[in-house]
Structure 1
């Protein structure tokens, strides 16, 4: 069933065209990601669909009764009610129905009513119908639903009578999301819902949306999240919309394949046009060939010429270098406590960072990750313990709030004032690499968007050439393309990195170690985010085993039960290994299929198939690739059937 249809939608801001002839539809159970560069118009389109912004032409068709729920970026829930009462407001209609049921029960309990049989039957029938409707609409579970959502969004430890007005901005944003989820609209529109969620809450939201009964339209810069949730991608680029089936990773592959195919067709046509033009030029003036030349000219005039395929829009281009190398020991902490105004948030923190480490600092919101980073760079006083910096260590710090940016300066001066000995041309070149070109460098910093401020902060960091980068949520305001550029720059960085991020894909690409911060210290994991998750799962299984063994006094466990538990644990471990290997094999199969297609295409090239030595060489490579593919396909079959 089509829930929403958009036809030829156009939007202007003053004289600037923002959206042009947008056309798409959303059907039942669709999970859609809306992607595009910062400033492409994603949030504008969502506001139009939610009825919060107007459009200039086109139409939006929505069947009667289809409801839309919309959560804008950083929308906090403003209310003087308590957490519980505000969530209960979502179910006012059900609560009214519940009150009506109680009133009918009171009537039916009245002995005087039994004498009027017809009236009693009418009330009984009304009660049965109302009770059935109440049940179908979730009347017997709405309080459980509230508790489930509040628990998933990390409010389980809160007193539900707490006034919402007393909460922090991030907590209000999570409550706004929770309230919207409880309304369960037919189309759920979420603009950057992951910004204020820690990793555990993100995982819960992924599972919630996967099982959501309605359709979902999401703007998010979290690739891991999009890969888990969506089944199609709408790309908004150059004011138009293109649809791709599959998750975000599939979209990237299809987009690249489409561009390569279109470029080949374009180049083939350009070659054909060149040959026709050459023939016409050489033969038009000769009497014996002029008719053929005129025929070619007509053919050329009638040709439907292809436009050159548009590649990706301009990307930021930067890398991080260092002025000089640090010693092997970069940073050490012993018995450290961090917090604000002598009130400790986390204590007993101890760790050691070596040159070349790339460390992700993870943990739930409020545990003190940003506080620890600010303490390390000296923005907050150390409450207890000792932090030692190694020799020749120069720290460059990225603040997630971009608090160090001077708002009354122009973009050019924000950078040039700190590096005034460098020529203006060099400063403009640096800014151009971060997508500040032309008059953009004359904008006031205060007028910049979150993404622009993030890019400017990264530009300043690049100029510092520190050998130890400390980054607090560096990807928060970056679009997916800019994130990828940052990832590649950090992978190639020759120094040491300590960073906080909730972006699991980013952690997986960058981290060589994971530090998990809790209120009583740090636990170190050697590996990326997936390795960290695997170890956490093993620890939880061991904890469950320990609890079970501790309970054996009150309920002695038989040898058979113990064996069963250990067998289950081993089975789960083997299943995780099977899934990881299956993913690796599928990736190898895909790469080999592309390689084989490339070899087959080479063999079709006239310049190649006339060269027997080259043909033999390509055939040998092709045979080798096919044999490898057969081997991987056999392994895939065994793994898939296991």
Structure 2
């Protein structure tokens, strides 16, 4: 069964065509990803599919009503100071409305000043309680709280305004809303943004087990490898589908490139052969024509004329063959745009760049300890990955190494000739008022010609070089910040989430550049593909005020160092029982009206599931 189908879909924005000719479908139960460069229109296509925007051309056929779809947006629209838990409760508008009335009635009862007002408020409150119970509100509240815990959102954040949450916390709240709603199809726009490793693994498992269709936009290649079984590549001229995950997609794309290159070479050889034949028949025709003109015997003129006509016919036949070759022309494969980075480290010869011993850090005014007793030596050529749960202090460690923060205890010694290039999540070192070109012309001995060449290598072409940095998208700002590292002359790069907002092609170019970088680097990133490509050592932070561990192994080796043990038979039986109970509970909650027996069974199932989950801890 299809969920949605599109045919020749086209979208324009401010007179510019974003994409055209997009024909694709989403089938029930499948997990697929939209793939494309920044600006290809992936988020726009999601908006078209769920009906938030209208296409310029083409058709969309929905087999499941839009209200049965669930979405996770990069920038959700949330009213005012709405609490995170209320945002999740709103996944069921009927229950949310009954809950809002209950809370309003409770406030009215609390504020009633006269006996008459108290009696009226009490009656309203009683009716609101009954309506909330009839709507299944108490079971719904239990589901909401369970979902919030499931996605790792701590209870102390539930009543905070959604807008005040961090990016990762907002993503978790959005996922909890989808968990309780259980829509028939999911549209997920960058669902892994800001999530730590534990939550990422939970999300991957949840999507794999989710029975409905999932259409995801993500630049997280490990996530795509783990969850999708089809990739739809979006380009300005249409969409093409590939079976398999991201790794299979890359293999297929490379095979296509090699096949096209082979066909192009064969075509060019045929062209050279045909053109050589045309030149040869032209020469023979001219010779035969000259021989006919010079013939002294009249009897020889027809002979030479016939030869000239024969060569003319062959010449025209080859011209037709060349025309047919042009009509079926195979274009030369375009080489992928590359950033072409060549970092310059200089003549720095010291072995140790930074030495941290027994470092502790605690927030000011007696705040909580971030970590204590950590030691680390950063040597020339080191490539370190810093990993740990959100809030463990990864960014704090980078800021300590730069000297921006001072340790509460311990020492950090830096080599006198150390030059640090710091790529922060806030990109605060960029000058918004400068153009891209001006930002490079500040570099000593830089010429405009060379600056344009460098910007072109970083995918800023032609008139793009005159754009103000303040007017760039986040992905473009990240590229600009990374480009400035190229000229910084740093011998130690500290990179805090450098791949955020970058498309996959640009991430891969960055990985190639950093792998060849001769200096040292320390990277904090949730992009596991990126860390596998660049990191030769790992620093793991556990959080909770402890220290950190240094692992003398690559990130790929670190990932497989301590695999989780397989579940016991008892654990498998318990998980199966949980799934069966949840299925029965879902069926009950889907009923339009519940009998007293249904409510009793729903309450019993909730307690049973809680008990089973408690036994799994």
Tell me if both proteins adopt one fold, taking TM over 0.5 as the criterion. yes
Say which of 338, 346, 358 aligns to 1:335: 358
- The match for 1:294 is 316
Q: 2-side partners of 1:240 and 1:522: how far apart?
A: 49
Displacement after TM superposition at 1:199 (Å): 1.6
* Counterpart for residue 113 of structure 1: none
Structure 2 residue runs of 5 or longer lacking an equivalent are 100-133, 286-307, 571-617
Correspondence for 2:37: 37
- Counterpart of 2:555 (choices 513, 529, 545) is 529
Deviation at 1:143, TM superposition (A): 5.7
Q: 2: CA distance between counterparts of 1:476 and 1:20?
A: 28
Residues 145, 510 of structure 1: alpha-carbon distance in 2 compared, 3 angstrom cutoff? farther
Q: Which has the larger radius of gyration?
A: 2
Residue in 2 that maps onto 1:465: 489
2:512 is aligned to: 488
Partner of 2:263: 265
> In the alignment, is the contact (CA less than 8 A) between 2:260 and 2:333 conserved in 1?
no
* Alpha-carbon distance in structure 2 between the residues aligned to 1:537 and 1:496: 29
Kept after mapping to 2: 8 A contact 1:40/1:239: no
Q: CA deviation at 1:88?
A: 3.0
Cα deviation for residue 165 of structure 1 reads: 5.3
User: Contact conserved, 1:41 with 1:239, CA < 8 A, in 2?
Assistant: no
What residue is the counterpart of 2:205 in the other structure? 207
Unaligned runs of 5+ in 1: 99-133, 545-560, 566-642
C-alpha contact (below 8 Å) 1:332/1:351 kept by paired residues: yes
1:308 equivalent to 2:331? Answer yes
Q: What is the rounded CA distance, in whole Å, between the counterparts of 1:32 and 1:222 in structure 2?
A: 14
Asked if 1:401 corresponds to 2:454, the answer is no
2:447 matches 1:423: yes
Q: Kindly provide the CA deviation profile for residues 254-293 of structure 1, in whole angstroms up to 9, marking residues without a partner as x.
A: 1111121122223323322332333233225233433333
CA distance in 2, matches of 1:188, 1:92: 18
Deviations 1:381-411 (A, max 9, x none): 4333211113532211111221111112211
- Residues 263 and 330 of structure 2 are in contact (CA less than 8 Å); yes or no, is this contact kept in structure 1? no
Deviation at 1:253?
Answer: 0.8
1:144 and 1:527 map into 2 onto residues whose CA distance is 44
- Show the counterpart of 1:385: 410
Q: State whether residues 469 and 498 of structure 1, in contact with CA within 8 Å, keep that contact through their aligned partners in structure 2.
A: yes
Determine whether 1:412 maps to 2:413: no
2:166 to 165, 168, 185: 168
Counterpart contact for 2:267–2:330, Cα < 8 Å? no
- The superposition leaves residues 520-561 of structure 1 with CA deviations (integer Å, 9 ceiling, x where unpaired) of 1101222223432334447x89xx9xxxxxxxxxxxxxxxx9
Q: Which moved more, 1:385-394 or 1:227-236?
A: 385-394
User: CA deviation digits over 1:434-482, x for unaligned, max 9?
Assistant: 1122211111111101111111111111101211111101111211111
* Aligned: 1:498 with 2:522: yes
Structure 1, residues 195-228: CA drift from partner, whole Å, max 9, x if none? 1111211111111111111111111111111111
- The match for 1:610 is none
For 2:237 and 2:179, locate their aligned partners in 1 and report how far apart those are by CA, in whole Å: 30
1:350, 1:76 → 2: CA distance? 44
Name the Cα RMSD after superposition.
3.0
How far 1:93 sits from its partner (Å)? 4.7
- In structure 2, how many angstroms separate the alpha carbons of the residues matched to 1:333 and 1:96? 56
Aligned to 1:87: 88
Q: Are the equivalent residues in 1 in contact too, given 2:35–2:217 (CA < 8 A)?
A: yes
Query: 1:220-299 alignment to 2 at 5 Å?
Result: 220-283=218-281, 285=285, 286-299=308-321
Distance change >3 Å, CA 203–CA 64, structure 1 → 2: closer
Residue 130 of structure 1 corresponds to which residue in structure 2?
none
CA contact (8 A) 1:408 1:446 kept: yes
Q: 1:520 — aligned with what?
A: 546
1:171 Cα offset (Å): 1.9
- Pair 1:64–1:86, CA change in 2 (3 A): closer
For normalisation by structure 1, the TM-score amounts to 0.73
Is 1:50 the counterpart of 2:75? The answer is no
TM normalised by structure 2 equals 0.75
